[in-house]
Amino acid sequence: MVKQPEIVDYSVLEKVNFPQDLKTLTIAELNTLAQEIRDLIINTVASRGGHLASSLGAVELALALHFVFNTPQDKIVWDVGHQAYAHKIITGRKESFSSLRKQGGISGFPRREESIYDVFNVGHSGTSISAAAGFAQAKCLKGEKDKIIAVIGDGSMTTGLAFEALNWAGDSKKDMIIVLNDNEMSISPNVGALSSYLNRIMTGHRVTKLKADVKGFLKSIPGIGEHIVRLSQQVEESLKTFVVPGALFEELGFTYVGPLEGHRLDYLIKNFENIRDMEGPVLAHVLTKKGKGYRFAEEKPLDYHGIPPFDVDTGEPLSSASVFPTYTEMFGKTIIELARADRRIVAITAAMCEGTGLEQFKQNFPQRFYDVGIAEQHAVTFAAGLAVEGFIPVVAIYSTFLQRAYDQILHDVCLQKLPVVFAVDRAGIVGEDGATHQGLFDYSYLRSIPHMIVMAPKDENELRHMLKTAVECGNPVALRYPRGRGVGVKLDQELKTIKIGRGEVLRKGSMLAVVAIGSTVYPSLAAAQKLAAQGISVEVINARFVKPLDSALLLKAALSFKKIIIVEENVLQGGFGSAVLEFFAEKGVKGAQIKRLGIPDEFVEHATQAQLRHKYGLDEEGIVRAVKQMIK
């Protein structure tokens, strides 16, 4: 039972600041500590938002690993890092945990800048085994004996990168330990052949446990019990071979240990002590429950994977002020509308069905929906194959995760000019998830590829028309839209196509032009309105396309205005503003003063979207300031 913050008893946690403090505790105290840490995590996430279910599932794992191993000399590499809150709490960040994901506070993911116990920066799935292999190799070169432990979830284990790393690690025979944290869930239930394999191991484990229970019961029956047990020996042998646990990993060169129950500290500690003394690559298969210890999260781990602030007692998210649909929801609705009219449209997600708004599509068109697991590269090349066969695949992936599929976009889609639509969600500033999750590079990495069309809607209504345009244009297209709610505009009755490469003038002005795209259009309009009241007349152009640019519109603006401001939520290097500058240089445009607003050459840390837009001058106030400076 979760208690309210004011009555929470943290009597054991009070004594623990660093891993060495664990080593003086009894198992009973460690169990109490696990409960106290859970309370702290639940209460903190309830007020700050964050990754709840995964972290609750990994509390005993974090405690047992830090208890047994000599961290930070022994290195624990967390995969993704969204499950590492307990690790943070017992490695010197108990007090600062209340600042989780706040601007200037601690990050939601392990960060080397934050603690020596965070040995590798993470946020994207599947990196831990490769990084751990690198650490193991380095130890070998340096002649050091410290232990290297990668902790990876069953979802992340399905990434191509994890397989590449297993392939290397199993063969290299380096001392390293992989802890497979298996809760049968990715964000939604895990998918794929590996997941089925792990499931069979677990089923086998349950069968073995059941056998032991039944045997115990039979033996207790006076007279006949022993006899029945002897008769059942044969059956038992065949049951044993029902599953050879971990054979796959053994074949790859690992010593397989497991499956281990992941919420029994005494048992986990004993097993990790044995594993610590083993040589070569070891895979410890640990079974955990996502959401462990918080009823709502255990019942609905998907809803509590990443969650905004919520009420601890009811589990309900605290109400959001806006009732406008999100861009994701609008995408989800529109793709269904389009798919009804065109049977060639299929949808692909890389383990983010809910996050990308495809649940309804999945319900409506189960045969035309594919969750490929955390496999962005495969998702894109799989789409290319479908496109060659005449289908129109819509691949919905967050901007930050699409980075992983760059070569597939270039080599498998664009080189063959295949009509694959990339629904690039969470593009721009995403907020509290921080540097690993900001979607600030896609204009730059997509617009440089031949044949690619890149567009961004100013609002949720335009998103609908752009999606129709994208599926009908017969080209590789990236449609990028931000995290969060739309601006609440009226939705047109009918979907219509937009002319490729055509922007629009939204507001006429005489002194200066602001050329905006995507989420920066409305703040630019608001800025223009504010400036008009001060006698400053600003024209606002919605560019719509990063590629191809609306050359006529841009040339006209360059001729009519001596001053132009370009606004984008993307890095300045190679982004939309760069594209316009390149175009002006090519056309020999002279004498225009041009200022670009966007993200400078740095990674953007965690804070709310509003705080970050403010910090980088991409909100109304920043645009007003930039205009005033330019006309001064």
Ligand X SMILES: Cc1ncc(C[n+]2csc(CCOP(=O)(O)OP(=O)(O)O)c2C)c(N)n1
CA angle 175, 176, 179 (to 5 degrees): 150
Q: Which tokens is 294 given?
A: 């918080």
- Strand, coil or helix: what is 105? coil
Q: Which of 101, 404, 480, 596 is catalytic?
A: 404
Q: How far is the CB of 171 from ligand X (least distance, A)?
A: 24
Q: Which tokens is 591 given?
A: 């004498």
Burial environment of residue 12 by CB neighbours within 10 A (0 to 12, 13 to 18, 19 or more): buried
Q: How far is the CB of 153 from ligand X (least distance, A)?
A: 2
Q: What is the DSSP letter of 325?
A: P
The nearer residue to ligand X, 122 or 528, going by C-beta atoms, is 122
Query: Cβ distance 1 to 38 under 8 Å?
Result: no
Site mask for ligand X (CB under 6 A), range 294-323, x = bound? ------------------------------
Question: CA 8, 297, 85, 5: dihedral to nearest 10 degrees?
Answer: -20
The nearer residue to ligand X, 125 or 578, going by C-beta atoms, is 125
Q: Which of 124, 139, 147, 465 binds ligand X (CB under 6 A)?
A: 124
- Strand, coil or helix: what is 71? coil
Instruction: Tell me if 357 contacts ligand X by CB under 6 A.
Output: no
Site mask for ligand X (CB under 6 A), range 362-401, x = bound? ------------x-x------------------------x
Taking phi first (over 0 means left), then psi (-120 to 50 degrees means alpha), and beta for anything else, what does residue 426 get?
A: left
Q: What is the DSSP letter of 10?
A: -
Q: Which tokens is 269 given?
A: 């500690």
The nearer residue to ligand X, 191 or 579, going by C-beta atoms, is 191
Residue, CB closest to ligand X: 153
Q: Which tokens is 626 given?
A: 């930039």
Q: How far is the CB of 262 from ligand X (least distance, A)?
A: 11
Helix residue ranges per DSSP H, 80-174: 85-89, 128-142, 160-172
Rounded distance, CA 615 to CA 356, Å? 27
Q: Which tokens is 417 given?
A: 């000019």
Instruction: Tell me if 425 contacts ligand X by CB under 6 A.
Output: no
Q: How far is the CB of 162 from ligand X (least distance, A)?
A: 9
Instruction: Tell me if 335 contacts ligand X by CB under 6 A.
Output: no
Q: How far is the CB of 204 from ligand X (least distance, A)?
A: 20
Q: How far is the CB of 436 from ligand X (least distance, A)?
A: 8
Question: Cis (ω within 30 of 0) for the bond into 548?
Answer: yes
Instruction: Tell me if 438 contacts ligand X by CB under 6 A.
Output: no
Query: Cβ distance 54 to 30 under 8 Å?
Result: no
Q: What is the DSSP letter of 485?
A: B
Burial environment of residue 607 by CB neighbours within 10 A (0 to 12, 13 to 18, 19 or more): buried
290 is catalytic: yes
276 is catalytic: no
Q: Which tokens is 210 given?
A: 């059941």
Q: Which of 184, 376, 460, 539 is catalytic?
A: 376
* Sheet strand arrangement including 369-371: 369-371, 345-349, 392-398, 421-425, 477-480, 453-455, 545-547
Instruction: Tell me if 61 contacts ligand X by CB under 6 A.
Output: no
Rounded distance, CA 390 to CA 388, Å? 5
Instruction: Tell me if 328 contacts ligand X by CB under 6 A.
Output: no
Query: Cβ distance 604 to 400 under 8 Å?
Result: no
Max CA separation in the chain (angstroms) = 104
Q: Which of 43, 44, 115, 125 binds ligand X (CB under 6 A)?
A: 125
Q: Which of 186, 444, 461, 519 binds ligand X (CB under 6 A)?
A: 186
C-beta neighbour count of 168 within 10 angstroms: 17
Residues in the interface with ligand X (CB under 6 A) total 23
Instruction: Tell me if 263 contacts ligand X by CB under 6 A.
Output: no
6 is catalytic: no
The nearer residue to ligand X, 51 or 458, going by C-beta atoms, is 51
Q: Which of 147, 290, 333, 468 is catalytic?
A: 290
Query: Cβ distance 284 to 260 under 8 Å?
Result: yes
Site mask for ligand X (CB under 6 A), range 140-179, x = bound? -------------xxxx-----------------------
The nearer residue to ligand X, 146 or 605, going by C-beta atoms, is 605
| Of 172-180, 184-192, 460-468, 509-517: span binding ligand X (CB under 6 A) | 184-192
Q: Which of 35, 43, 54, 461 binds ligand X (CB under 6 A)?
A: 54
Instruction: Tell me if 624 contacts ligand X by CB under 6 A.
Output: no
Instruction: Tell me if 462 contacts ligand X by CB under 6 A.
Output: no
The nearer residue to ligand X, 43 or 186, going by C-beta atoms, is 186
The nearer residue to ligand X, 111 or 124, going by C-beta atoms, is 124
By annotation, the residues acting in catalysis are 290, 376, 404
Binding site for ligand X (CB under 6 A): 54, 57, 80, 82-83, 124-125, 153-156, 181, 183, 185-187, 290, 351-352, 374, 376, 401, 404
